[in-house]
Structure 1
């Protein structure tokens, strides 16, 4: 197993631990996970190939789905307000 895949597995364990923390720490933890997860996906892709990179990306998206949902909602609201819908 490559170093990048080991780090990705550790990232998943840390994400699980963040989910078990009190609710007021979820968003700061999510920001930290996003900040470390994006370069980690690139590292996995570089070291293990695009298939493993896509698997790591899918794992990250499934773990951090609520921040992505909120981002999508805010972008949709912003787009609607600019187009006048």
Structure 2
């Protein structure tokens, strides 16, 4: 197995572990995973081709759909809803 796929598997395990944390403790590791994903997906696509890139991209979008929609709405100037656990 190649290095990008091993790192991709570790990324998935880290994302699953982050999802098990309380909502307030998910921010920092979640943002780190969100930032690392495009680099890792590009590396997987470069080494293994577009099909594996597409599979990884679909998985990434499925796992991070709510944070990505939040950032998209903020960028477009639309109102956003923050989960009650994160409200102060």
- 2-11 or 40-49, which moves further after superposition? 2-11
Q: Separation in 2 of the partners of 1:65 and 1:51?
A: 21
Question: Higher helix fraction: Structure 1 or Structure 2?
Answer: 1
Query: Equivalent residue for 1:83?
Result: none
* CA shift for structure 1 position 70: 0.1
Provide the rounded CA distance (Å) in 2 between the counterparts of 1:59 and 1:5. Answer: 14
TM-score relative to the length of structure 1: 0.81
Please provide the CA RMSD for this pair: 1.4
Residue number in structure 1 paired with 2:52? 52
Which blocks of at least 5 consecutive residues in structure 2 are unaligned?
Answer: 79-88
The structure number with the bigger radius of gyration is 1
Number of positions where the alignment pairs a residue of Structure 1 with one of Structure 2: 78
**1:2–1:48: 8 Å Cα contact kept in structure 2?**
no
**How much does 1:75 deviate?**
2.4
Consecutive aligned runs of 4 or more in structure 1 exceeding 3 Å deviation: none
Q: Residue 22 of structure 1 corresponds to which residue in structure 2? A: 22
